[in-house]
Amino acid sequence: MYKKGLKRFLDIVLSTSGIIVLSLPMAIIAVAIKIDSKGPVFFRQKRVGLNKEHFEILKFRTMRTDTPKDVPTHELSDPKKWITKVGRLLRKTSLDELPQLFNIFKGEMSVIGPRPALWNQFDLIEEREKYGANDVRPGLTGLAQISGRDELEIPVKAKLDGEYVEKMSFSFDCKCFIRTISSVIKSEGFVEGSAAGESVSNNNEIKG
C-alpha cells in the first residue's frame, strides 16, 4: 500500500507544505543570490528519474555563470573560486536543494529515495541497475546521503540505493528523514571539491 500510493500522497502533502512554509526563506535566498552574483537564481540540469526517464532538476545557483562548461568540479584548477559566497553556504547546508520541492510536487522526485544521477553518469546508472534502484523515484535525500554523502564511492553508493529499495517503507523513510536533518546540521560527509561524490561528478553545479 505504501509503495503503490501512500508514498506519493505523502510526497504531495509534504512538498506542498514545504513550498508554503519555506516560500519566504526561498525568496530571501533568491534575493541573496542576485545580489551576490550576476546570473539566474535557479540552476537546471538533466537528471535520471523513475525508470531512467530524464527530467530537469531545479536548484538554487551556487556557481558563477562564467564557470568552465562540461568540466567536473574536481578537475577545475581551483574549484572553490567558481563557487559564489552565497553558494558556499547553500551547498554546505544543502539549502540549494530546496527548489526540488517543486520536482517532488510534479512527481519527478520523492522526498526519500536515491539521489537522481546525471544523465551521463553512466557508471552510477549501471551500478544501480543491478539493484533495481533505477525503478523508483529519485529522492531529495536517501540512505546513501545519510551514510556518507560525498565520501562514498559509486559502487558503495549504488549498493546503498539498492538497500533502500529493499527496505522502502513508511518507518524507514521517516528514519532517513530524521537522520538527514541531523546530517545536514552537522555537515556530515560534505567534501567540497572531492571527486568521490555527487557534488563533483560530471558537470558543474553537481552537488547532490
pLDDT of residue 208: 53
Instruction: Classify burial at 134, counting beta carbons within 10 Å of its beta carbon; exposed 0-12, middle 13-18, buried 19 or more.
Output: buried
pLDDT bin (cut points 50, 70, 90) of residue 75 is low
pLDDT bin (cut points 50, 70, 90) of residue 67 is confident
* CA–CA gap between residue 206 and residue 45 (Å, rounded): 9
Q: Looking at per-residue confidence, does 187 or 43 come out higher?
A: 43
Q: What is the three-class DSSP state of 121?
A: coil
**141-151 pLDDT, tens per residue?**
999 988 876 67
pLDDT bin (cut points 50, 70, 90) of residue 185 is confident
| C-alpha dist (Å) from residue 118 to 34, 44, 143, 200 | 26, 12, 18, 11
* CA–CA gap between residue 121 and residue 196 (Å, rounded): 13
* CA–CA gap between residue 24 and residue 20 (Å, rounded): 8
